[in-house]
Chains A and B, each alone.
Chain A
Amino acid sequence: MVSGFHESAHTRSWDFRSAMIRSQADTVPVGPLSDTGAMGMIRRVVAALGLGAAVAAALRLKGSGGVPPQTGGWRNLSGPDQK
């Protein structure tokens, strides 16, 4: 019996498909070939740069706010005060 196969009418087709995919994946070579060499290095560098740029952009746009004045206030400057 293929792994993932169930008797339920609702899930039968879905489970069968996933099981087929899993069985196909077993035949694909995995391991050192997929993530080594120049391409892997370039991917990691690009990913690191992208992540760094995203973090820098977020920090630059967000900022750190500031401290409002703790005392005092605005008063209209008119009449003798203008002198």
Chain B
Amino acid sequence: MRVGVLGAGAVGAGVARHLQAVDAVQQIVVRDIRPSVETQVVADLAPDVVADGKRLGPLDVDVLVLATPVGFHVRQATKALERGISVVSVSDSLGDVQGLLRLRGLAEETGSVLVIGAGFSPGLTGVIAGHAAGRLARVDEVHIAKMGTGGPACARQHHRALKNHSLDWRDGVWTRRPGGSGRELVWFPSPVDAHDCYRAELPDTVLAVPCFPSAQRVTARVSATRRDRLTMHLPMLRRPHPEGLVGAVRVEVRGELASGGFGSIIMGSVAAPAVGAAATAATAVEWVTNKRVRPGGWGLGQLRDLAGFLHATEQRGVATELFEGLAEMAADPAPQIIDLRVPTTQSIQEHDERDDADLAGTAKKNQSR
């Protein structure tokens, strides 16, 4: 099969690199609006990766990966789907994702596959959420958070998302909340650890809600610094970095446990966001080329064998982690119950005896000094 990659930035180049190792992919055609970038990627990854030397016009491929900046994905996907080409989009723009969701019918009609939001977040977060939900009897809440940005286009999108309203799912209705509000200290896997995360215009909720019909609350947050929030309504004051440093995603799924009672399953992943997005998108392409995805439009959380998907991304260097402790406490069929009843005379007496013993011990220590 021939796979086309539109956009040879941090994510596109990574996808092309991963696809070299996929047996079903014979050739990868890269196209970028910047000739120097395209030439560099082809020089690094030849002979499997080639450039078609055109800036415009359709690509003669079987699967097309859209790794271009946000805003163009719907038009590019429409043209490809009309020609029966399967599409994998890594866009993390709410507008793009909503537009792509409207193309599901077209994908079904043409017998092609449309994978929507196949990046680090959305993308891997959807897979993790679906996988974590498998440990619950019923899902009540899904909370997604991400930290870090990939290439410059991703950094611009982060800035844009923060100043726009979020789209949260609350009690069965969509709710818009101002971006930059709703501070929450989110504990990501090490070495990222704790970061304050805020509401933003993120597409994760739109893709997650259809996967969890019983969910009453689905939210998505993104980490931001004070400078990000202070300047979010202004144009970007500094040129974005070429590629972000380490980032992370965290997914918390709450609901009814299979063993009874309620609890949370928390999973996450640490990687440079562009690396995570490339590994996820490459795995999605592999799934499509191996006919493991039915024709139509899908978020990654709707795929089958999510454990297999996570295993494949792990093989590409992006591992998933489980937060233990809280999850185990929740999974305990007989959790510890805090006794809030009025203390009995016996319990008060026992408490006083313990206090007396402590005081006696302290007095002995003081005397020995």
Contacts and interface: CB of A to CB of B under 8 A. Distances in A.
B324 A75 contact: yes
B110 interface: no
Interface string A39-76: 00000000000000000000001010111110111111
Contacts of A27: none
B56 interface: no
Nearest to B194: A68
A65 B183 CA distance: 9
B322 A69 contact: no
B322 A74 contact: yes
B266 to A, nearest CB: 9
Contacts of A76: 319-321
Contacts of B310: 77, 82
A78 B328 contact: no
Contact of A75 (B131, B229, B314, B321): B321
B325 A72 contact: yes
Interface in B281-330: 307, 310-311, 314, 319-329
A61 B322 contact: no
B307 A69 contact: no
B179 interface: no
A74 B325 CA distance: 9
Nearest to A60: B229
Q: Identify the interface centre among A61, A77, A83: most chain B CB within 10 Å of its CB.
A: A77
Interface stretch (B3-11, B38-46, B146-154, B185-193): B185-193
Nearest to A61: B226
B137 to A, nearest CB: 17
Contact of A74 (B183, B314, B324): B324
Contacts of B190: 74
B307 A74 contact: no
Nearest to B128: A77
B122 interface: no
A81 B320 CA distance: 11
Contact of B268 (A61, A67, A69, A74): A74
A66 B194 CA distance: 9
A78 B322 CA distance: 10
B194 to A, nearest CB: 6
B33 to A, nearest CB: 38
Interface of A: 61, 63, 65-69, 71-78, 81-83
27 contacts: A66-B185, A66-B194, A67-B185, A68-B185, A69-B323, A69-B326, A71-B329, A72-B323, A72-B324, A72-B325, A72-B326, A72-B327, A73-B323, A73-B325, A74-B321, A74-B323, A74-B324, A76-B319, A77-B267, A77-B319, A77-B320, A78-B314, A78-B319, A82-B131, A82-B307, A82-B320, A83-B307
Given A72-B326, A74-B189, A75-B323, 5 more contacts: A69-B187, A69-B326, A75-B324, A82-B307, A82-B311
